[in-house]
Amino acid sequence: MIRNALILCALLSAGAPALAGPATPANAASTALHRLFRAEWRREMREHPLEASADGFHRYDGRWANMSLASLAHEHEEDLEALSSLAAIDRSQLDPQDRISYDLFKYRYEIAAQGYDLKTYLMPLNELEGIQTLRTLTETLRFANATDYRHFLERLGTFAPYMDETIALLKEGVKAGMTEPQVVMERVPHQIAAYLVSDPGASPFYAPFRKMPSIIPAAEQARMRAAARTAISQVVTPAFRRLQRYFDEDYLPHCRKTIAAQALPNGKAYYAYEVRQYTTTDLTPRQIHRIGLKRVAAIHAQMQRVFDEIGFKGGYRQFVHYLRTNPRFYYRNPAHLLEAYRAAAMRVDPLLVNYFPVWILPRVPYGVRAIPASLAPDTYPAYSDPPAGDGSVAGYVSVNLYKPQSRPKYDIHVLVCHEGRPGHQLQIPIAMALEGLPDFRRFDYYSSYGEGWALYSESLCDQMGLYDNPYSKFGYLDWQMWRAVRLVVDTGIHSEGWSRAQAVRYFEQNTALSTQNINTEVDRYIAWPGQALSYMIGQRDILGLRRKAEQALGQRFDIKDFNAAILEHGAMPLSILNEIMYRWIRERKEGMPETHPTM
């Protein structure tokens, strides 16, 4: 899971690292294409300054996005103009790499335009993301010098319009009937409360000022700390009080009592869009529901073999009860749980060279840290925070230490493989390092590709022998089961008429997740329709491509080359990935030499 990242934006600026651009265009069509890419990327940099800063591009470091209705409408019009400009370029005159870029650009802008038409912007927050989850923002920004701090002070001082525009979108959502379900939004008030501090020094936004770089003179540090306290007390905290007041008194009472996305205005089209956006396929909700039911049955059969190996005399439900109630499978101390995650990450790294060519492995480091306590009760068991595009901020796997007695030891390795390496903390840094590609391709993110790769990575760790006891193997299979159950539950809630209780019960019957995790997960699917489908649909596609490659190439199949081929073009919709990989298989079968983008 990539936290707060539907699309990862990182944008060029004068202060950004020098990156190799595309090869000299060979004709007018290619020249026009790359001119369009550069112009639109500069625009996205301006429109999404938080994402730009987090990924290491600093021209707009002092700004927030403009979330006003007028600005969003203007951005939509510019998106349509970009598509019109793209259509004027003769795709047949482009080389193969530029054709991929053309198709990816067209896809991402069409998806954005469809989302605007469905008024998705009128639901700007839920319990998983939004302005009230900004407490982790400072962990993704660079604070290396006085300029970085001055930019952040500028952001603190101009926070009010950003908040007021968010509240205005919520109000418009109420008018239009575009609200989140009340059952999940009841989790938000305690998240807002984290910012309602009487002491500015206790605010999440003050964290960078507690320890400042020694290159900033002491007197200037003192001035900056005072300025931060003033901005927090006079601008930021009052803004969150306005949100609290509006949310508690007006928005929450008007949130809908239904949970299905199809209950929204134009809800059937809305859910179909969410499914299409997150899976990047034309699969219908009903088709995905059936795929999920089949996968659940298949994984149960695999689990039975684990029970037989252990010698457990009982069925699945009895085994799950045994795991949930036996203290040997849990840490009592959160610090010990964190240490175990870090040890698991260190175990994986030396094995990567057996499954990836050395040239593609990322140079950017990553670490393991705890999820902030105020977010932990409502969020995932773990998530991945990508590194900055310029390498100034390392990547992290953030792990949930809330109620450690509900977080099994046998889940640790599979989580590290997914969120760390060879999962997100390998795929995303590799994409960021690709030179010779348009910038949007290096920093774009498609959930079916990224989450599909991370889930495929869990199976790679199985090949690596990391699940080296039956309980760890069960943990791996249970997480595969979890993603299969998602296919059933997400579509069940949003298109099959399931109640929340029905979704919880299906989880309880088919996974070993704790009650804490099950309730958080079900609420996640209610709040974020379609996203949970991307994992297994993406893995299913990558595994299908691998089977095709193994069958076509026989003894010439090389797992290192296959994994590199999946990763070396950056994130993309599954339909485009399939085109690329079919060509790769054909070329390898014909003995054609491999070529790779510059890293």
Task: Tell me what pLDDT residue 21 has.
Answer: 40
Provide the pLDDT confidence category of residue 139 given band limits of 50, 70 and 90.
confident
The DSSP bridge pattern shows strands 382-385 and 366-370 to be unpaired
Task: Please give the backbone phi and psi of residue 515, each rounded to the nearest 5 degrees, phi first.
Answer: -60, -40
The pLDDT confidence band at residue 186, using thresholds 50, 70 and 90, is very high
**CB neighbour list of residue 478: distance below 8 Å, 6 or more residues apart:** 303, 410, 411, 511, 512, 513
pLDDT tens for each residue of 20-35? 344 444 699 999 999 9
The pLDDT, as a whole number, for residue 393 is: 80
Separation between Cα atoms, residue 378 and residue 199, nearest integer Å: 25
Treating both helix axes as pointing N-terminal to C-terminal, what angle do 559-567 and 447-464 enclose, rounded to 10 degrees? 160
At 13 the pLDDT is 29
Instruction: Locate 28 and state its tokens.
Output: 């007018």
Tokens of 531: 């996203």
Mean pLDDT of 5-34: 52
- Region 65-85: what's the mean pLDDT? 98
CB 511 within 8 A of CB 481: yes
Structure tokens at 138: 């400072």
pLDDT, one tens digit per residue, over 392-403 is 788 999 999 999
pLDDT at 3 over 90: no
Q: What is the pLDDT of residues 266-282, one digit of tens each?
A: 999 999 999 999 999 99
Q: What percent of the chain has pLDDT over 90?
A: 80
Please, what's the b/e burial string for 413-442 (b: 16 or more CB within 10 A of its CB; e: otherwise)? Answer: bbbbbbbbbbbbbbbbbbbbbbebbbbbbb
Task: Output helix, strand, coil percentages for the chain, rounded to the nearest 5.
Answer: 65, 5, 30
Tens-place pLDDT, residues 480-492: 999 999 999 999 9
For range 563-590, the mean pLDDT:
95
Confidence of residue 238 (pLDDT cuts 50, 70, 90): very high
What pLDDT sits at residue 316? 83
What's the mean pLDDT in 135-147?
Answer: 90
Predicted local distance difference test score (pLDDT) of residue 598: 56
Strand partners, 385: 396
> Are 312 and 326 spatial neighbours (Cβ–Cβ below 8 Å)?
no
| pLDDT in the model for residue 599 | 53
The answer to whether residues 155 and 124 touch, using CB atoms and an 8 Å cutoff, is no
Whether 200 and 233 have beta carbons less than 8 Å apart is answered as yes
What pLDDT is attached to residue 436? 83
- pLDDT tens, residue by residue, 113-133: 999 999 999 999 998 899 999
553 — pLDDT class (breaks 50, 70, 90)? very high
Residue 373 has pLDDT above 80, yes or no: yes
Instruction: Give the E-state strand segments of 309-364 in sequence order.
Output: none
- Residue 262 corresponds to which tokens in the numbers above? 């199809």
**Whole-Å CA distances, 369 to 55, 337, 366, 394, 408:** 19, 11, 10, 12, 18
Dist. CA 403–CA 539, nearest whole Å = 30
Higher per-residue pLDDT: 525 or 315:
525
For 4: left if phi > 0, alpha if psi spans -120 to 50, otherwise beta; the answer is left
Between CA 469 and CA 339 the distance in angstroms is 20
**Amino acid identity for residue 577 in this structure:** L
Q: What is the mean pLDDT of residues 436-458?
A: 94
pLDDT for residue 68 is more than 90: yes
pLDDT of 17 > 60? The answer is: no
Q: What is the pLDDT at residue 364?
A: 86
pLDDT at position 378 is: 79
- Average pLDDT in the chain: 91
| Main-chain phi, psi angles of 435, to 5 degrees | -100, 160
